[in-house]
């Protein structure tokens, strides 16, 4: 029986478009669960504030539609387009980050976490967006493009450091000044990209040490961050202040048990658990859907991470391989930081859970990144051959996605495998 199931699973994974369908299915299920849970988490607060329980979820649905359009566009773009826009997008991200830093310094009288959170967004009329989310995408594309251009020179500290490290460091400091959690995700993604490209471990060790020192300084710089660290191990000692949210999250998790209290039946969302629709939405999932629901979420993220690394490993283009690995590390790191904070494994940093937490900018950027990954999945050599053999109609290509580029020749593949920028992920 076990042998038969293993053979069946292996046969399904060996299909040319397995990566593509695994990516679509896991992302679609996570998005659907996210919309359902955002509605459950916000219906009470939304009704109290506006008299309409659907007010918040309708906004999230609109952002989800925008994100799906971004997914559609992203999966249609060739890799050369991403390489072309990487530098301008990085410059824009740094400038927007510097603008937020200036605004934060100007209003430095408010040193609370809520006051700091006000400087994470830029408001344009009724629309607000978070530059830190765009910065993840920008640094990912720029770093991957730079590493591919360097080729074998990535083994040289001097060639690698100038100008990559100063620019990446500037972006991290600018983002980390107001948003330490997002900076940690960017650091993990950047170091992961360097590792996947074949950068020597001695260089990675120096960078990791520098990142730890920088994070410690940013924590010490803001008082509320230090208070979060102090309240992490014993939140009951800070039950009226910094430990309150963590304690209420633990109550939600404990109430859920194995199968939860039922969808929509949460008691903690009745103004007990702060940010239950965003940072702590995993606690409400645990309360309403129980351990089983949490395991489903973790399994879907596991499938997504496996698929992302599979795409990176099977790609015949160094840039696509690095970007696929970077997106996967980004999503896995962000999910770990969010879930780990809710479960009390690590200090809470306030980053959203990908696909699931309420928030427009984060959802649109994540869906765009997954759309780019879907385009790379279609460009896998076996997938490209299968799609080109089918020769879909012009209407299908227009409405969904164009044909992927033809796979590289065997000689090109052999040359690519010798390049330091394609370390197996």
pLDDT in tens, 23-56: 999 999 999 999 999 998 888 888 888 888 888 8
Does 135 fall in a domain? yes
Q: How far apart are CA 416 and CA 381, in angstroms?
A: 14
Who's near 84: CB < 8 A, 6+ residues apart? none
The token duo for 371 is: 């759309």
How many domains is the chain partitioned into structurally?
Answer: 1
Q: Quick one: pLDDT at residue 264?
A: 82
| 59, pLDDT greater than 80 | yes
Q: How far apart are CA 361 and CA 16, in angstroms?
A: 33
CA angle 80, 85, 89 (to 5 degrees): 155
Does 13 fall in a domain? no
Q: Quick one: pLDDT at residue 104?
A: 72
Does 369 fall in a domain? yes
Residue of higher predicted confidence among 367 and 411: 367
Does 12 fall in a domain? no
The token duo for 226 is: 């230090």
Q: How far apart are CA 363 and CA 356, in angstroms?
A: 8
Please give the residue range of the domain that contains residue 156.
18-422
Q: How far apart are CA 197 and CA 59, in angstroms?
A: 40
Element (H, E) at 122: strand 122-124
Question: What is the per-residue pLDDT across 250-296, written as a single tens digit (0 to 9) for each?
Answer: 888 888 889 888 888 888 888 777 777 888 899 899 999 999 999 99
Does 174 fall in a domain? yes
Does 10 fall in a domain? no
Does 4 fall in a domain? no
Residues paired with residue 123 on neighbouring β-strands, in sequence order: 128
Q: Quick one: pLDDT at residue 102?
A: 79
Q: Quick one: pLDDT at residue 416?
A: 44
371 and 71 in contact (C-beta within 8 Å)?
Answer: yes
140 and 196 in contact (C-beta within 8 Å)?
Answer: no
Burial of 356 (0-12, 13-18, 19+ CB in 10 A): buried
Give the DSSP letter string of 256-300.
Answer: HTTT-S-TT--STTTTTSTTTTTTTHHHHHHHHHHHHHHHHHHHH
Predicted TM-score of the model (pTM): 0.89
Question: What is the per-residue pLDDT across 186-239, written as a single tens digit (0 to 9) for each?
Answer: 999 999 999 998 888 888 888 888 888 877 777 777 656 666 776 666 776 666
Dihedral (CA of 220, 222, 223, 224) sign? negative
Does 11 fall in a domain? no
The token duo for 170 is: 């500037």
């Amino acid at each position: 029986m076990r042998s038969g199931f293993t053979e069946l699973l292996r046969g399904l994974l060996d299909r040319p478009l397995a990566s593509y369908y695994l990516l679509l299915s896991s992302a679609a299920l996570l998005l659907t669960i996210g919309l359902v849970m955002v509605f459950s988490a916000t219906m009470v607060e939304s009704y109290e504030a506006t008299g309409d329980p659907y007010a918040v979820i309708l906004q999230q649905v609109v952002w989800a539609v925008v994100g799906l359009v971004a997914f559609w566009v992203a999966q249609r773009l060739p890799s050369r387009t991403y390489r072309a826009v990487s530098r301008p997008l990085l410059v824009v991200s740094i400038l927007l980050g510097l603008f937020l830093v200036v605004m934060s310094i100007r209003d430095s009288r408010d040193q609370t976490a809520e006051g700091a959170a006000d400087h994470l967004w830029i408001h344009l009329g009724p629309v607000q967006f978070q530059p830190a989310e765009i910065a993840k995408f920008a640094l990912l594309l720029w770093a991957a493009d730079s590493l591919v251009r360097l080729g074998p020179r990535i083994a040289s500290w001097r060639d690698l450091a100038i100008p990559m490290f100063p620019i990446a460091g500037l972006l991290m400091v600018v983002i980390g000044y107001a948003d330490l959690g997002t900076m940690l995700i960017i650091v993990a993604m950047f170091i992961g990209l360097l590792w996947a490209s074949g950068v020597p471990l001695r260089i990675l060790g120096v960078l990791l040490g520098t990142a730890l020192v920088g994070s410690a300084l940013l924590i010490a710089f803001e008082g509320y961050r230090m208070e979060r660290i102090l309240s992490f191990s014993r939140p009951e000692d800070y039950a009226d202040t910094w430990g309150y949210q963590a304690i209420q999250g633990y109550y939600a998790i404990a109430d859920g048990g194995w199968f939860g209290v039922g969808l929509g039946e949460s008691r903690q969302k009745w103004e007990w658990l702060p940010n239950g629709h965003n940072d702590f939405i995993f606690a409400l999932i645990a309360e309403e859907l129980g351990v089983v629901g949490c395991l489903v979420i973790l399994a879907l993220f596991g499938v997504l991470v496996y698929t992302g690394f599979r795409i990176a490993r099977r790609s015949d283009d160094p840039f696509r391989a690095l970007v696929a690995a970077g997106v996967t590390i980004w999503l896995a790191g962000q999910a770990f930081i969010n879930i780990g904070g809710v479960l009390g494994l690590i200090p809470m940093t306030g980053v959203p859970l990908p696909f699931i937490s309420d928030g427009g900018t984060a959802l649109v950027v994540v869906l765009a990144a997954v759309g780019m990954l879907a385009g790379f999945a279609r460009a896998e050599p076996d997938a490209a051959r299968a799609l080109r053999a089918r020769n879909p109609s012009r209407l299908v290509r227009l409405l969904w996605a164009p044909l992927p580029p033809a796979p590289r020749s065997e000689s090109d593949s052999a040359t690519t495998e010798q390049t330091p920028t394609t370390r197996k992920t």
